[in-house]
Amino acid sequence: MAKKTSTAGPLVIDYTTQGVNLLPASARAAEELRILRSKLFLGMVVFAAILALVCGYSVIAETQAKHAVDLASDESDRLQGELERYADISALKSDITQAETAVRAGMGTEITWVDLIAKIEAALPAEGTITSFSATGTTPMDGNGFTATSPLATQGIGSIEFTMQLSSLPDTAAWLEALNGIPGFMDAVFGSATLTTGDDGGPSYYTVSSSVVINVEALSRAYLEDAS
């Protein structure tokens, strides 16, 4: 049987990469332990540094938070001082508001009677004069307690009954229409007419009575908030 011949090349040994560790096993273990301790120490140093940074950040954050609380407390004390400083002004403002409210409530039903009588005189027929009148109005306590003089009239806030002297009887329809056309007036009523003969041959004249109901348009509104 023929022998097989190897076709591999010659064996080459590189002596630069070969070595023999002559240290005993205990020395190698000690060296490995030293390296491990070095790594553990380095890890502890890094951990301590991180822990120090975290603690430092916590201290800074706590300091900033305390500073913010102190600032808020100081601002609160300042505002409280301002409130105490202007306490009298606030009380005065409240008193003024109450007084204004009382004036509006007390004077809310104010009617300028002189102006209304002047409007009636302006609507009188020619050569007519008002000889007497009586006016009735409501007060803040009355509410809707006013009752119209005529049972057919609409309830308003007041009324005017007046007597006028005329040289001739007026056109009743035209006269009532003229009264109702005055702002603040409604439900005018023709009362009575009496002929009076003049003394010593003087001219005769008619004494005519009439009345009119006053509505909210007659209010002066001088003390109302929305008065223009």
pLDDT digits (tens, 9 = 90+) for 105-139: 545 567 788 888 899 988 888 778 899 988 887 76
Share of the chain above pLDDT 70, in %: 68
pLDDT tens for 197-220 read: 877 767 888 899 999 998 888 777
Of the candidates 91, 165, 153, the one whose C-alpha atom is nearest the C-alpha of residue 129 is 165
Mean predicted confidence (pLDDT) in 22-42: 76
pLDDT tens for 70-107 read: 888 888 888 887 777 776 776 667 666 665 555 555 45
Mean predicted confidence (pLDDT) in 20-26: 64
In this predicted structure, the answer to whether residue 225 has a pLDDT above a threshold of 80 is: no
Overall pTM > 0.75: no
pLDDT-derived band at 181, boundaries 50, 70, 90: very high
pLDDT tens for 43-61 read: 888 888 888 888 888 888 8
